[in-house]
Chains A and B, each alone.
Chain A
Amino acid sequence: MPIQTPFHQRTSEHNKNLDWKDWGGYFASNSYNVVNDFEYYAFRHSAGLIDVTPLFKYKVTGKDATLFLSRLIVKDISKLKLNQATYCCWCDDRGMVIDDGTVMYFAENEYFVTAADPSYSWFSRFIKKLDVKIEDVTDTICALALQGPTSRDILKNVCDADIDSLKFFWTTSAKGDGFEFKISRTGYTGDLGYELWVKNADAIKLFDALWHAGQNYNIRMSGIAALDIARIEAGLVMNGVDYHSSLHALIPEQMSTPYELGLGWAVNLDRDPFMGQKALKAEKKNGSKWATVGIDIDWPDLEELYKKHGLPPHTDAGAWRTSIPVYHPQNKTKQIGYATSGTWSPLLKKNIALVTIQKEYAKPGTEVNFEVTVEHHREKVRAIVGKPQFFNPKRKRSIVKKENNE
């Protein structure tokens, strides 16, 4: 049985739909309403509030904490400045991704790491003789994500921190009315947004303050289903959906490298040894086999297929996470990749999907064939390869004082 997060008392009041999911052993609201479009639109038009407590969270401290994380993570953590945060992934020897997450540099020799999978065992086996302590704070620190264009204004109303000048992927400490918490300008929606980290005891205080302040800014509870739509639009890959941790993969075909996942930008190769360095250097030199791309599934083509069956075009309201084959542009029986998740983008009015594809077909503009099932018949429809990131608004990175510079 999943357990309840410290916000459960509040989230359950809002969850009229009684639609709960097991996320990392916690109850998580999949959707709060039968029609959950508005939970998604909150991210893009006002502010959506999500309980993200089930993320695995670790406090890494000690004199060698920087060295330790730099060796484990493919990004050079030693480059982080105090209060800065970074998105990153970590690999095994073969350069295969184990998990991805965020590292926040909270204080000297103190880092805060989030992960999708339990990672204590993996991290701790590298401590060896280093002066490092890893504390699993998953059950003691809880988290809310406040995402959307009005999130900044809401946050300004609940704490004393200088939110206006807090830059994208930076963090700050904040004081609310009778409680303290940490703010990171991070998120999983590709929009302006923040993640708030607070001790379990202060969970309800933070929640209530946000909810109260949010009333003037159309704050809404958002579920995982809505979040899924937003993260696909933003082109953010998900462990267990778009790729599989090499620790759990049974065969090499189930593993991916950061380059194959489009996370090459998060790899710093030329530095002291780190896990996977040798393999990743070789891959960088020799090229990758696979790439992660976004595809835009051609709507007129789809319409045509439905027309054949005398039906109006149809698309599911939410995101999907099933594996769907992608075929060669000409040879429609030759599979060249597979979609791992996709959605109808309410904002872009497009049918989009994240696709793992053989490198030679990854060039933006390439036409491929995507399998769709229309009235129980398997059909192929044209799709255009592009970057995974479909939506990237300026406000995601903007700061208030010099809005136009960013």
Chain B
Amino acid sequence: MSKKYDAIIIGGGHNGLINAAYLAKAGKDVLVLEKRHVLGGAAVSEEVFPGYTFSVCSYVVSLFRPHIIRELNLAKHGYDIIPMDASFQPLPDGDMGLCRWGDASRTRREIARFSKKDSEVYGEFSKVMTHMAKMAKEIIDHPAPDVASINPKELSSLLRMGKVFKNMGPELLQMNTKLLTMSSADFLDLWFESEVLKGPMSVSGIIGTFLGVRSPGTAYVLLHHYMGELDGAFRSWGFSKGGTGGVSIACANAAKSFGAEIRTNVNVSHVKIKNGKATGVVLANGDEIDSKIVISNLDPNRTYLKMIGENNLESNITKEIKRFKLRGSSGKVNFALNGVPNFCKKRDGLEFMKGDIAIVPNVDYVERAYDQAKYGEFSERPYINIVVPSLTDPTLAPPGKHVMSCFVQYAPFNIKEGAENWPKLADKFGDAVQETIKEYVPDFDSLVEHRQVVTPWDLQETFGLTEGNIFQGELTLEQLLFQRPISGYAKYKTPIRGLWMSGSGTHPGGGIMGSGGELSAKSILKDKAI
């Protein structure tokens, strides 16, 4: 291998591919290396059982930055999101459940069954959240301001933030603090009274974190529903056509169209470092590939401790990176079904099931699920977020059959038996999920043709997510902004010159947003690193 690339990107997840696309678009010679046989990382579609295609890990798209779609012309490359209209919460004992629709009046009537007040307060709540979302947008669309330095440049970025706060008044301003620090349940308590309604609303704050809905610091994720990126959809959520992997394929196609080279089945062993500078990568088979810079799309733990290696790091950096909390808390169970799992026979048609279905009958239910996880067990009755994407995208399963994807929390990586014993518990975990579903779909067992259980251990071993954390690191305040992944190296740089990061472990964090890939690429170009 004599060719020297401008940049090598380790990891073909969506952020890595976006990073490659931006760099290639700027005329750089870019190579993406993916360990697995498929691209996409956690944003991947796989035909797990013949005829059934699953979004194995990440299953809905919500916060993908619209400007990335425009700038990379992703729609041309196959980016296609089918919006979700409904969000359904089945309730036990044959209740009608609660369905929230794009149609505001219809949703109001649904909520009024549980609380008339709540049904009307919804609008007031949205108003406050819209104000808050202005702040959030400001934060996620720019690199994190560096609090450590008090130079005029950083101050002026604060001034820009100031404009966002215009006309908010002191109490609404303080709402920012509340939102950033409070628990999602407490925050919702400021407006709502119905435990049923607060159930599915509060869980958006805990997805992927090892926290409960009553844990401080979970409220701010509620904002994600108010960023309003998908026009006209009640929640800015949707399915990618052909599964979540479709997003990654579109990003890969865009990158290729700009001239990037992408290779799969290439296992990088570590980054080649000479005189404190990254000069390329060393593969597991011993081959070396040279480049001017290297971009790691892996999580901070892998990037620092495996790709760089402790011997190349100062001890205080090693210490800091080891403090970075990953603590995966969720798993996935994917079902291939021979028919439609009807979550509420009292409702007409299947429209109510075409969005997501949240098993979380009330706030206490999910908090009790967390209590169990705190002491090292998976929840016997977990919070499950279910989608049956084949109802809207029939290409995913044979005619009349369905794929059903269940995001399950809590499944703590660190179980008391020890994480390495997860494979032994996988079936028990899958059974707990199936039992829980049966409380709403009594004939569920007879529908199941195949079942795939993805434990946090699998997320680590197969998808390279340390401790099975789907966001490459807990989204707690001390691991966000200028501290993601560690302070001093929050602007996509690392202590190794020429080695950059672009994954969810960098600002602004996890989810299929694309921001890490985009902002890191723009930082690299601005820095004239290549």
A118 near B117 (CB under 8 angstroms)? no
B109 near A25 (CB under 8 angstroms)? yes
B130 near A250 (CB under 8 angstroms)? yes
Assuming the contacts A250-B127, A250-B131, A251-B167, asked whether A121 and B106 have C-beta atoms less than 8 A apart, the reply is no
A22 near B120 (CB under 8 angstroms)? no
B127 near A24 (CB under 8 angstroms)? no
Chain B residue nearest to A56 in the complex (CB): B120
Main secondary structure of the interface of B (DSSP, over half): helix
B117 near A120 (CB under 8 angstroms)? yes
Q: What mask results when residues 104 to 140 of chain B are scored 1 for a CB within 8 Å of chain A, else 0?
A: 0110110000001111110110010011000000000
Q: Does B154 contact A (CB under 8 A)?
A: no
Chain A residue nearest to B130 in the complex (CB): A250
B116 near A1 (CB under 8 angstroms)? no
B residues near A118, Cβ cutoff 8 Å:
108, 119-120
Q: Does A124 contact B (CB under 8 A)?
A: yes
Assuming the contacts A118-B120, A121-B120, A248-B123, asked whether A22 and B167 have C-beta atoms less than 8 A apart, the reply is no
Q: What mask results when residues 118 to 141 of chain A are scored 1 for a CB within 8 Å of chain B, else 0?
A: 111110110000000000100000
A136 near B105 (CB under 8 angstroms)? no
Assuming the contacts A248-B127, A250-B131, A252-B167, asked whether A1 and B106 have C-beta atoms less than 8 A apart, the reply is yes
Chain B residue nearest to A136 in the complex (CB): B116
Q: Does B320 contact A (CB under 8 A)?
A: no
B residues near A247, Cβ cutoff 8 Å:
123-124, 127
B residues near A248, Cβ cutoff 8 Å:
123, 127
Chain B residue nearest to A3 in the complex (CB): B109
Q: Does B103 contact A (CB under 8 A)?
A: yes
A residues near B131, Cβ cutoff 8 Å:
250
A25 near B120 (CB under 8 angstroms)? no
B residues near A125, Cβ cutoff 8 Å:
117
A122 near B120 (CB under 8 angstroms)? yes
A residues near B106, Cβ cutoff 8 Å:
1-2, 25
Interface size on B, residues (CB 8 A): 17
Q: Which of B105, B120, B130 lies in contact with A24, CB distance below 8 A?
A: B105
B residues near A251, Cβ cutoff 8 Å:
167
A residues near B167, Cβ cutoff 8 Å:
251-252
B117 near A121 (CB under 8 angstroms)? yes
Q: Which of A22, A119, A250, A252 lies in contact with B105, CB distance below 8 A?
A: A22
Chain A residue nearest to B351 in the complex (CB): A1
Q: How far is the CB of B349 from chain A (nearest CB, A)?
A: 11
Q: What mask results when residues 91 to 110 of chain B are scored 1 for a CB within 8 Å of chain A, else 0?
A: 00000000000010110110
B residues near A2, Cβ cutoff 8 Å:
105-106
Q: How far is the CB of A244 from chain B (nearest CB, A)?
A: 11
Q: How far is the CB of B179 from chain A (nearest CB, A)?
A: 17
Q: Bound complex: CA of A124 vs CA of B167, how far in Å?
A: 28
B residues near A120, Cβ cutoff 8 Å:
116-117, 120
Q: Bound complex: CA of A264 vs CA of B297, how far in Å?
A: 63
A residues near B119, Cβ cutoff 8 Å:
118, 121
A residues near B124, Cβ cutoff 8 Å:
121, 247
Chain A residue nearest to B121 in the complex (CB): A121
A residues near B116, Cβ cutoff 8 Å:
120-121, 136
Q: How far is the CB of A135 from chain B (nearest CB, A)?
A: 10
Q: How far is the CB of B105 from chain A (nearest CB, A)?
A: 3
Q: Bound complex: CA of A118 vs CA of B130, how far in Å?
A: 20
Q: Bound complex: CA of A121 vs CA of B105, how far in Å?
A: 15
Q: How far is the CB of A76 from chain B (nearest CB, A)?
A: 26
Most chain A CB neighbours (cut-off 10 Å) among B105, B124, B167: B105
Q: Bound complex: CA of A247 vs CA of B167, how far in Å?
A: 15
Chain B residue nearest to A251 in the complex (CB): B167
Q: Which of A3, A22, A24, A124 lies in contact with B117, CB distance below 8 A?
A: A124
Q: How far is the CB of B243 from chain A (nearest CB, A)?
A: 30
Q: What mask results when residues 270 to 294 of chain B are scored 1 for a CB within 8 Å of chain A, else 0?
A: 0000000000000000000000000
Q: How far is the CB of B15 from chain A (nearest CB, A)?
A: 33
Q: How far is the CB of A101 from chain B (nearest CB, A)?
A: 15
A residues near B118, Cβ cutoff 8 Å:
121
Q: Bound complex: CA of A136 vs CA of B117, how far in Å?
A: 11
B residues near A250, Cβ cutoff 8 Å:
127, 130-131
A1 near B103 (CB under 8 angstroms)? yes
Q: How far is the CB of B415 from chain A (nearest CB, A)?
A: 44
A residues near B109, Cβ cutoff 8 Å:
3, 25
Q: Bound complex: CA of A397 vs CA of B121, how far in Å?
A: 39
Q: How far is the CB of A200 from chain B (nearest CB, A)?
A: 16
Chain A residue nearest to B134 in the complex (CB): A250
The A14-55 residues at the B interface (CB cut-off 8 A) are 22, 24-25
Q: Bound complex: CA of A248 vs CA of B108, how far in Å?
A: 16
Q: How far is the CB of B135 from chain A (nearest CB, A)?
A: 14
A25 near B127 (CB under 8 angstroms)? no
Q: How far is the CB of B165 from chain A (nearest CB, A)?
A: 12
Q: Bound complex: CA of A119 vs CA of B121, how far in Å?
A: 10
B residues near A252, Cβ cutoff 8 Å:
167
A residues near B123, Cβ cutoff 8 Å:
247-248
Most chain A CB neighbours (cut-off 10 Å) among B117, B118, B120, B167: B120
Q: Bound complex: CA of A122 vs CA of B123, how far in Å?
A: 12
Q: Bound complex: CA of A55 vs CA of B429, how far in Å?
A: 51
A residues near B117, Cβ cutoff 8 Å:
120-121, 124-125
Q: How far is the CB of B161 from chain A (nearest CB, A)?
A: 18
Q: Bound complex: CA of A22 vs CA of B101, how far in Å?
A: 15
B residues near A119, Cβ cutoff 8 Å:
120
Q: Bound complex: CA of A89 vs CA of B509, how far in Å?
A: 47
Q: Bound complex: CA of A124 vs CA of B118, how far in Å?
A: 12
Q: What mask results when residues 248 to 270 of chain A are scored 1 for a CB within 8 Å of chain B, else 0?
A: 10111000000000000000000
A residues near B108, Cβ cutoff 8 Å:
25, 118
A residues near B120, Cβ cutoff 8 Å:
118-122
Q: Bound complex: CA of A213 vs CA of B130, how far in Å?
A: 52
Q: Bound complex: CA of A2 vs CA of B104, how far in Å?
A: 10
Q: Bound complex: CA of A118 vs CA of B112, how far in Å?
A: 11
Q: How far is the CB of A177 from chain B (nearest CB, A)?
A: 33
The B130-181 residues at the A interface (CB cut-off 8 A) are 130-131, 167
Q: Which of B105, B121, B130 lies in contact with A25, CB distance below 8 A?
A: B105
B residues near A121, Cβ cutoff 8 Å:
116-121, 124
Chain B residue nearest to A120 in the complex (CB): B116
Chain A residue nearest to B109 in the complex (CB): A25
The A335-365 residues at the B interface (CB cut-off 8 A) are none
Q: Bound complex: CA of A2 vs CA of B108, how far in Å?
A: 11
Given contacts A22-B105, A121-B119, 17 further A-B contacts (CB under 8 A): A2-B106, A3-B109, A22-B103, A25-B106, A119-B120, A120-B116, A120-B117, A120-B120, A121-B120, A121-B124, A122-B120, A125-B117, A136-B116, A247-B123, A247-B127, A248-B127, A250-B127
Contacts from A to B (Cβ < 8 Å): 1-3, 22, 24-25, 118-122, 124-125, 136, 247-248, 250-252
Chain A to chain B contacts (Cβ below 8 Å), 26 pairs:
A1-B106, A2-B105, A2-B106, A22-B103, A25-B108, A118-B108, A118-B119, A118-B120, A119-B120, A120-B116, A120-B117, A120-B120, A121-B117, A121-B119, A121-B120, A121-B121, A122-B120, A125-B117, A247-B123, A247-B124, A247-B127, A248-B127, A250-B127, A250-B130, A251-B167, A252-B167
Contacts from B to A (Cβ < 8 Å): 103, 105-106, 108-109, 116-121, 123-124, 127, 130-131, 167
Instruction: Report, nearest first, the 8 A-B pairs whose CB atoms are least far apart.
Output: A25-B105, A121-B120, A118-B120, A121-B117, A121-B121, A120-B116, A251-B167, A120-B120
